Amino acid sequence: MSSPGKLEACKAVGFIGGGNMAYAIASGLLNKGVVQPEQILVSATNLPNLQKRWSPLGVTQATVNNEEVARKADVIFICVKPQIFPNILDDFNKMRNEDCSRKLFVSIMAGVTLERLKTNLEMFQPFTLARAMPNTPMQVGVGCTVYCRAKCHQLTDPLYKDMQRMFEALGVAHEVEESKINAVTGLAGCGPAYVYEFIEALADGGVKQGIPRAMAIQLAAQTVMGAAKTVLDTGKHPAVLKDEVCSPGGATIHGVHALEQGSMRGTVMNAVERASKRAAELS
């Protein structure tokens, strides 16, 4: 495979749905120079809002016509909520039995299985289908994505490899079995929200101790980023790194004790479990 970010077969990238996840992927790809604004198409129901948000990215091909995006793009990301998915199928039906063998459809809809996607997108004959679970930090190039694929008559390998290159350019990316995607949704897909809550709580603690709000947020975010980078760069287990900070009788171990009293680890594990189960329910 070529180096991440160098697309070979994909000339245009489409987004069905222009919400937060679509915006994160598109802005990340633009920031990394993987695609240019003129290569992006996006559709949503509210055109003024869509244009207001996407125009600053340089994206001018915004429309309410899902069919237009599907026709013009080579890789089409389906970025609508699962409950909205049935509403876009009428637009796709206008392309029934057209040759879509040179297109790749990538669903990022939580809980929607490849089998359900194949059934609902049967109007495209033949076509190539993938399912992915990215997260919003892709917009700053440090996302996490897992993905899997389905063979529907024909596998358009060059486009699938281009999809991999896009995800790899925006952070960590792994191909997995579909059975793992709901668990990853609960961990990495939803995980940024858990971390944002922790950063806010950490900053609130600083404010309570007299640190100005803006400084407290900056210090909390930098602390989380630094700790995460230390885990990734050193390869040490988080428990080992925690022990390195906890001096006997020191301030840190007293703080860790307070976290344990609040069942922080159990609460976070429960959050991942509940989010994973909800993703499975959506299927």
**pLDDT tens digits, one per residue of 245-274:** 999 999 999 999 999 999 999 999 999 999
- Residue that terminates a domain, selected from 130, 149, 176: 176
Pairing of strands 128-133, 143-150: antiparallel
Enumerate the known binding-site residues. Answer: 16-21, 66
Q: Tell me whether strands 104-107 and 171-175 are parallel, antiparallel or unpaired.
A: unpaired
Q: Is residue 6 part of a domain?
A: no
CA dihedral sign, ordered 49, 70, 145, 189: positive
Lowest mean pLDDT among 91-100, 137-146, 158-167, 209-218: 91-100
Q: Are residues 29 and 109 in the same domain?
A: yes
Burial label for 224, CB within 10 Å (0-12, 13-18, 19+), is: middle
Does residue 144 belong to any structural domain of this protein? yes
Token digits for 112? Answer: 């929607």
* Residue 7 in domain: no
273, part of any domain? yes
Take residue 119 and report the two structure tokens written for it: 């059934």
Give the mean model confidence (pLDDT) for residues 133-147. Answer: 94
66-98 pLDDT, tens digit each: 999 999 999 999 999 988 999 898 888 888 877
pLDDT greater than 80 at residue 20: yes
Identify the domain boundary among 158, 176, 194: 176
Residues 159 and 211 in one domain: no
In a domain, 106, yes or no: yes
Q: Which domain holds residue 78?
A: 13-176
Give the model's confidence band at 150: pLDDT under 50 very low, under 70 low, under 90 confident, else very high.
confident
> Which CATH number goes with the domain that contains 46?
3.40.50.720
* Spatial separation of the C-alpha atoms in residues 85 and 175, rounded to whole Å: 24
Tell me the pLDDT band of 1, cut-offs 50, 70 and 90.
very low
Token pair for 192: 């940024």
Query: Which DSSP string corresponds to 239-278?
Result: HHHHHHH--TTSHHHHHHHHHHHTTHHHHHHHHHHHHHHH
**Residues contributing to the annotated binding site for NADP(+):** 16-21
Q: Mark whether 149 and 250 lie in a shared domain.
A: no
> Could you give the number of structural domains in the chain?
2
The tens digit of pLDDT for each residue in 26-81 reads: 999 999 999 999 999 999 999 999 999 999 999 999 999 999 999 999 999 999 99
- List beta partners, residue 153: 127
Instruction: Give the annotated binding-site residues for NADPH.
Output: 66
Helices (H), the chain: 20-31, 47-54, 66-72, 85-93, 114-120, 157-169, 181-184, 191-208, 213-234, 238-245, 251-261, 264-281
33 in the same domain as 168: yes
pLDDT band at 153 (very low <50, low <70, confident <90, very high): very low
**152 vs 161, more confident:** 161
Q: Is the dihedral of CA 157, 163, 167, 169 positive or negative?
A: positive
Segment 95-116 shows an average pLDDT of: 87
CA angle 6, 2, 148 (to 5 degrees): 90
Asked which of 176, 192, 222 is the last residue of a domain, the reply is: 176
DSSP 5: T
CA-to-CA separations, 228 to 205, 251, 263, in angstroms, rounded: 20, 21, 21
Question: Is this prediction's pTM over 0.85?
Answer: yes
